[in-house]
Every structure is written in structure tokens, then in C-alpha cells.
Amino acid sequence: MNLVVAGTGYVGLVTAVCLAEKGHKVTCVDVDEKKINLMREGKSPIYEEGLEELMHKNKEKLHYTTESGKAYQNADVIFIGVGTPEKKDGSANLKYVYDVAKEIAQNIQKDTYVVIKSTVPIGTNKKIEKYINANTTNGHTVEIISNPEFLSQGTAVRDTLHAQRIVLGANTEKAIQVMKQVYDQFGIEYVITNRESAEMIKYASNDFLALKISYINEIANLCEVVGADITDVAKGMGLDSRIGNKFLNAGIGYGGSCFPKDTKALHWLGNYYDYELKTVKAAIEVNENQKIKLIKKARKYYETFEGLNVAVLGLAFKPNTDDLREAPSLDCMPILLEDGAHIKAYDPVAQANYKKIYPTEIEYCNSIEDTLKDADICFIFTEWDFVKNMDTSLFVKYMKKPIILDGRNCFAIDKMEKEKLIYESIGRKAVTNLSC
């Protein structure tokens, strides 16, 4: 089959490479010529574990182009994997989906199946099908299939190749059979339904996980007040098979390209139909407050950050990615800078992207030691392995005043109690072996 994937971000490129890994020849289309040239050189434009290796392995099956018209002409199946960022009102911006739809309508030379992998509001697949078929220039038709993705950044390749389910929303049995030709080599269970249900499965899944995160963070905040330990609480909850232990790690909130925009988009959609999703609204509000929790903790030790040396370990919203979208560090950094702090930061992957936002305002380091040297306080925003596995005596050895505020609960309390420092995390007792 002639497969084409529009968009080479996390969804599009990972989808294309994994389809190639399963034996398909795939053409990747993007409007960004720099990205296309980079991929032609065998380099991934995004940091994702295992992705570049698979690009090299399957280079004979992968073709990269900006010439979308030629790519769409004789495609059997076109996957749309472009971004759907949020608008200011919280709704999903479908501009890029419609841009691709317009090009498909203008260029297909035969009846074609179009698969929407992008996360889109319920009812979008139907609208896109109507739009393309109303604008085709040569009488050919398309059938739209909803096939949402469920990958996580940092584990996207594994999540695609070994997914827990493949959701297919289609109106005809023929469309389902075509998609099974695409996916049967994956050996993964299908969930077959209508397009609206497939679209809702995606939003309902992501928003439920966001709810779990916000819920455990609220419980963690209360644990700090009443003297409970969120680590033990989460373990006790997670052993209940009805609850499970996934997404029960307390911290400073969720970020990334999915949960923030998907919760806002579903909440917006509910309001559009005069139905308020109160639980989703609460998850959004809790998460926004949680992002600056470390700043609030820091105010106990310093009324102002003016003139302070601030160390920051981790900038990305989660480990094993260079993605900064909705990262808590981006909420905290402006507060620190506006207050007059001198910031030294270290992230093994995300620093290049951070420099695009703060090219000169922050001093970027290449080691823990350089970052901590002479620091008055340290913020941990990302639970990278280099942080979790570090020698905690380095805080005492290098910092001027070893006050550590850990937004990801990287260290065991009993371990930190052996050091002469102040250590505060999320939902656990504070270690205060240092006078302020």
C-alpha cells in the first residue's frame, strides 16, 4: 500500500517510522523544508528514544518531502498527524488539519482513505470528510477514519509498536478492512467503533489520566498539612487493581503537548454544548496552581529572590524528552527572573530549546556540580535519572546554602535526613537539618 503521513512531529513522524518498521513504505510530508532536509540526513527533528535508530534501520522504506501534491496524488491511505494546539479560549486549533485537508482535496487522483491521528474535537472527522468531498477538483472521494494515538513522549516508539489497543472509528466495513491491512502486522487488539466514539475515546483517556494526576497532587498537598506521606498513600492506593499505580506520582503538575490542551479542549467542548465538565475543570485549575508550588515553598526561606544564586535541575516537562510545552519550569522561571535571581540551569536534552526562549537571561551548565556551585537554593523541576541517581552530598558540598525544593520527589526522605540541608518535596515531611 502507498502510505503517506502529513506532519512530522511526535505523532506524525513516530507513526511513519513505526509503519515502516512493520514493512510499509511511507512518505512523510511536511511544510518545513529544514526539517525535511534534516530527516533526509537521517536525523530526527525531535528527541525521542529509539526514533533515530529506527529511521536509519528503515531508511529504504521512508521518503521525506515538502511536495505534498505529488505525495497525495496516488496515496492509498493518508494519515493526518499535524498539531492541534489550543486557542486562547481553550478550544482546539484545527487550522493545520484543514490545511492538509485542502491539499488532499486538490491533489488526489483516485478515491482515497484519510486517517486522522491528530487529536480533534468530537465531530471533526465528519466535518473534514464533508469538507474534502465538497472541494475535490476531479470527482474523487475520500472516506475519513478516526485512528487516535495514545503515545507518551519519551516512550512514543514503544507505545506505538506495542500499543495496548488500536482504535478505529469508521463508517464502513471496507474502511476497517483497509486499516487492518495497515495494522495487522502490529498484532494488537482492535477497538472498532464509530468516528465520534473514537474521537471521544482519545479525549476521555487523556483527561482521565490528567484527573488522576491532579487528584493525587491535591491529596499530596493535604498530606503535607496533616502529616501523612504521599508515597505511602499512593502505594496503598495503587495496589488496588480498581485504581492501579499509574499516574499516581505526586509532583508539580502535568505538562507536555497533550494533557493541558486536551483537558481545556474537552472542557471548552462541553461548555459549547451547555454542559460543564466539573471534574475536568477542577483538574485544570489544580494543575495550574500546582506548577508554582515550589515558588510558594521558597518564599518561606526568601521573601525575595533578588541577588540570589538559584540552581535549577531539569527544564523539560518530563524526562527523556526535549519538549517544553506547558513545562512547570516555564511558569516558575519568569517569577524568579523578574524578582532578580541569577539562575544556573542544567538539563541534558532540553537546554537547546530553552535557549530559544531565554538565550541570555539564564546561565546554562553542563554538570550538576557547576549548577549547584554557590547556589542559595535549588529547584528540581524534572525527574531525570541523573537527578534521581546523583550523590546527594553534592548539595552540601557545592551550595552556599543547601535548600532543595524537589518538585518530583526524587529522593527518599530517610536518605536526605542524613545530610545537613533543608529538603522539601511534594506531599511528604520536610527535612530541616539546617538553620535559616
Catalytic annotation, residues: 258
Q: Are 133 and 299 in contact (CB under 8 A)?
A: no
* Cα–Cα distance, 112 to 78 (Å, whole number): 8
| Bridging pattern class, strands 77-80 and 377-380 | unpaired
Q: Give 190-207 as a DSSP string.
A: EEEE-HHHHHHHHHHHHH
Phi, psi at 358, each rounded to 5°: -125, 80
356: Cα within 13 Å, side-chain hemisphere = 7
What order do you get walking across the sheet with 309-313 strand by strand? 363-364, 342-346, 309-313, 377-380, 403-406, 422-424, 431-432
CB atoms within 10 A of CB 404: 26
Residue 248, C-beta contacts closer than 8 angstroms, at least 6 positions apart: 212, 216, 234, 237, 238
All 3 cell numbers of residue 245? Answer: 499505580
Residue 67, C-beta contacts closer than 8 angstroms, at least 6 positions apart: 29
All 3 cell numbers of residue 200? Answer: 471521544
Q: Are 428 and 230 in contact (CB under 8 A)?
A: yes
All 3 cell numbers of residue 31? Answer: 511544510
* Cα–Cα distance, 397 to 373 (Å, whole number): 8
90: Cα within 13 Å, side-chain hemisphere = 16
Could you give the 3-state DSSP secondary structure of residue 77?
strand
Q: Are 137 and 307 in contact (CB under 8 A)?
A: no
Q: Helices H, strands E: what count in the chain?
A: 19, 15
Q: Are 113 and 178 in contact (CB under 8 A)?
A: yes
